[in-house]
Amino acid sequence: MGGTSNLLRDTGNGDGMNLEEVARDLKNARKVLGAVEARTLAGVAEMLSEVTVNLSRTAERLEKMAPQEWMGPDEAAAYLGKSRHAFQKAVAQESVPRHYLTGRRPLYNRRELDDWLLSR
């Protein structure tokens, strides 16, 4: 029985710690690591929350920066990089797609203008 008693007391590390002390230290280490893990995960969650807010703000800004789908004659001319006169000439001669959605003023759809440019 003396051998078993020595095994419980001597861990072979030479500092005289027994298995009970090692078990207690491991239990304490587990608690410390659990606390560190919890703090780290809380920090990651907070960071992800901030990133989500920032991405939402960026998406809103990009949406505001996105060009409008419908344009009047002046905006369409500027979009195509033409003077108002050159644009009116192109509309009259080259069947630029236009729509009368609001009465007498023609409106131009951005995608249709892009398609028209590509088809020329």
Query: Does the pTM of the predicted model rise above 0.75?
Result: no
pLDDT single digits (tens) 15-64: 567 999 999 999 999 999 999 999 999 999 999 999 999 999 988 887 77
* C-beta atoms surrounding 116 within 10 Å: 17
Provide the token pair at 5: 């008693």
